């Protein structure tokens, strides 16, 4: 049986059961026969190799099938284990047990990633980065699949394949293999100005972090917390690094990419090995139900953040990463984070990006796990609590369900499965009298207010960094796209557009009338520490 949470790391104990001791072993086949597989069986010294050589065939067959598809996005990543501790009992906010028992350690697994590059791409390219956390709670896995940038490019999941196709390498040349410096990305951004807020974050130092230990993390969407009494508040989840926030400058990022493509993964690994465990404060911005419509942007619009000057950050607890993985493939590659892995006391909102994600992760993982619907039984994916259901069969079924029934309700086997007293709390949100419509929340149309807010929040040196980033990245595009991007930047800030235009050979644009939907006056995004190196 697993250690009680708080008395040890339940996940580590579970994983240990699967460790395979490879020291001083004798070579065997997968079916246990001891063999010499250093030589193949031949007809005479000079061959040919015989079909009969089962050991050769098995070894080669296994090697031939070692690869699984890389993730369609976030292919390159690094993972680490750790634990989360809540600062206090947050029962007034949520029914989630892991946020209600102080001094209890909930095991976590975190995978940081770049989005666009393939599995072998360099770490320090300009990109958004993923910050995915799995909490192995006593109520099942809660996966908070976040990014290090607060807003997202598009508001509707149906646009996700487009933005990724635009950002991935050109289909004809397969270049560039990582980063966003190319025609199709900026063609899309210029066509779809709701992206500009996130594009500015990516062009700033946020797109080239110094390491993962000094990144913030954002759940991006508005979620719900739900109490036992079915009271709900809206929340944005945020991770704040105790190590501070730190970004590279472009020159450093490029040189490092040339010298050491593993820079970020080595940094995390070596920090943990030397006992310098990175920590993040986990918290929320809380919005009461009654204030759902109190903002000039819609809470369901993921292209917007909630400025911390309106809704402050409430720290809930702290996460520490203190253990490297034992095997990269078995843990970091086979972990299957999913937005749909959620626990009692946490709920979704109608954010259409979020709704689409709930489907996409399961679906892609069935492909990534080569058609097996049983991938959640892999060691890294198992929750630390028992799993019971009437799901049966499928490729790679690892368990042996006992009993004669596989349906519910049944009278033959009273435990198959009983519905627990406390199940997931589906918040009874009202959606009566709605009309089906292909549309979006109106605040998505205000593309520029928060982009301005972000730009204005930067120090002069950071503005220069953003300008340099934009010149470099957009400078890789054909002239027609440069001109369209300058027009978009001009909607954000004339000074910004002129400075970028000067580096692109584009004529400086005239000032445009103030963005009519402007909502950002006097607001600030967050009280984040400024990068140390600026
Ligand atoms: C990974 C889809 C938006 C964060 C993935 C994967 C897919 C996907 C298919 C690969 C999963 C796997 O193979 O295991 C989508 C879709 C989105 C969307 C359809 C929008 C509709 C976002 C947003 C965020 C995000 C807004 C951040 C808040 C991540 C992260 C990973 C990931 C961190 C990597 C997880 C890991 O480390 O294994 N996404 N995504 N995605 N996505 Fe998204």
For residue 40, what pLDDT band results from cuts at 50, 70 and 90?
very high
Task: Enumerate residues 6+ apart whose C-beta is below 8 A from 442.
Answer: 298
CA of 277 to the centre of ligand 1 (A): 26
Q: What is the mean pLDDT of residues 188-197?
A: 97
| CA dist., res. 258 & res. 181, Å (int) | 16
> Mutation test of ligand 1: which of 69, 73, 363 has the most ligand atoms closer than 8 Å to its C-beta?
73
| % of the chain surpassing 90 pLDDT | 84
Of 24, 37, 65, 147, catalytic? 147
- Does the pLDDT value for residue 532 go beyond 80? no
Phi, psi of 281 (to 5 degrees): -85, 130
Mean pLDDT over each residue of the chain, to the nearest integer: 93
pLDDT of amino acid 415: 64
pLDDT of amino acid 1: 43
- Does the pLDDT value for residue 2 go beyond 60? no
Known binding residue 361? Answer is yes
pLDDT digits (tens, 9 = 90+) for 401-448: 988 888 888 888 876 667 788 999 999 988 888 898 998 898 999 999
pLDDT digits (tens, 9 = 90+) for 169-192: 999 999 998 877 789 999 999 999
Q: Is 530 helix (H, G, I), strand (E, B) or coil?
A: coil
Q: Is 147 a catalytic residue?
A: yes
CA of 145 to the centre of ligand 1 (A): 7
| % of the chain surpassing 70 pLDDT | 94
Q: What is the mean pLDDT of residues 44-61?
A: 96
Task: Specify the pairing of strand 232-241 against strand 279-288.
Answer: antiparallel
Tell whether ligand 1 has an atom less than 6 A from the beta carbon of residue 72.
Answer: yes
**pTM, to two decimals:** 0.94
CA of 134 to the centre of ligand 1 (A): 14
- Does the pLDDT value for residue 519 go beyond 60? no
pLDDT of amino acid 413: 80
ipTM of this complex prediction, to 2 decimal places: 0.96
Q: Is 74 a catalytic residue?
A: yes
Q: Are residues 494 and 472 in contact, defined by beta-carbon separation less than 8 angstroms?
A: no
Judged by average pLDDT, the poorest of 124-138, 178-192, 363-377 is 178-192
Tell whether ligand 1 has an atom less than 6 A from the beta carbon of residue 368.
Answer: yes
Q: Is 368 helix (H, G, I), strand (E, B) or coil?
A: helix
């Amino acid at each position: 049986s697993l250690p009680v949470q708080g008395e040890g790391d339940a996940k580590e104990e579970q994983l240990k059961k699967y460790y395979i001791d490879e020291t001083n072993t004798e070579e065997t086949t997968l079916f246990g026969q001891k063999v010499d597989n250093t030589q193949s069986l031949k007809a005479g010294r000079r061959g040919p190799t015989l079909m009969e050589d089962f050991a050769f065939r098995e070894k080669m067959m296994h090697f031939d099938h070692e690869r699984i598809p890389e993730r369609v996005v976030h292919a390159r990543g690094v993972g680490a284990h750790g634990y989360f501790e809540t600062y206090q009992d947050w029962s007034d906010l949520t029914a989630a047990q892991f946020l209600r028992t102080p001094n209890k350690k909930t095991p976590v697994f975190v995978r940081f990633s770049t989005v666009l590059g393939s599995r072998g791409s360099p770490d320090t390219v300009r990109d958004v980065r993923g910050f995915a956390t799995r909490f192995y709670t006593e109520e099942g896995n809660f996966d908070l699949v976040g990014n290090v940038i607060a807003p997202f490019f598009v508001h509707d999941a149906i646009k996700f394949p487009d933005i990724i196709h635009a950002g991935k390498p050109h289909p004809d040349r397969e270049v560039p293999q990582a980063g966003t410096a190319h025609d199709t990305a900026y063609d899309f951004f210029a066509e779809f100005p709701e992206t500009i807020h996130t594009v500015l974050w990516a062009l700033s130092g946020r797109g080239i972090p110094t390491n993962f230990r000094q990144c913030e993390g954002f759940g991006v969407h508005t979620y719900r917390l739900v109490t036992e009494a079915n009271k709900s508040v809206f929340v944005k989840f945020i991770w704040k690094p105790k190590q501070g926030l730190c970004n590279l400058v472009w020159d450093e990022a490029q040189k490092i990419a040339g010298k050491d493509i593993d820079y970020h993964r080595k940094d995390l690994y070596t920090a943990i090995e030397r006992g310098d465990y990175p920590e993040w404060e986990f918290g929320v911005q809380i919005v009461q139900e009654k204030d759902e419509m109190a903002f000039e942007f819609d809470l369901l619009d993921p292209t917007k953040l909630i400025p911390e000057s309106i809704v402050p950050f409430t720290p809930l607890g702290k996460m520490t990463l203190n253990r490297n993985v034992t095997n990269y493939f078995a843990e970091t590659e086979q972990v299957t984070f999913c937005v749909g892995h959620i626990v009692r006391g946490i709920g979704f909102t109608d954010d259409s990006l979020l709704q689409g994600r709930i489907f996409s992760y399961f679906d892609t993982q069935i492909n990534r796990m080569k058609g097996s619907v049983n991938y959640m039984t892999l060691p890294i994916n198992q929750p630390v609590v028992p799993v019971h259901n009437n799901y049966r069969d499928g490729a790679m079924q690892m368990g042996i369900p006992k009993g004669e029934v596989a349906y519910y309700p049944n009278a033959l086997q009273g435990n198959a499965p009983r519905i627990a007293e406390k199940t997931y709390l589906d918040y009874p949100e009202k959606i009566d009298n709605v009309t089906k419509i292909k549309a979006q929340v109106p605040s998505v149309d205000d593309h520029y207010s928060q982009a301005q807010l972000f730009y204005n929040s930067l120090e002069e040196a950071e503005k220069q960094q953003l300008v340099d980033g934009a010149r470099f990245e957009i400078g890789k595009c054909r002239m027609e796209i440069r001109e369209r991007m300058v027009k978009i930047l001009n909607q954000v800030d004339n000074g910004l557009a002129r400075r970028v235009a000067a580096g692109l050979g584009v004529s400086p644009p005239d000032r445009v009338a103030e963005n009519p939907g402007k909502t950002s006056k006097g607001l600030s995004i967050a009280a984040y520490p400024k990068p140390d190196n600026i």
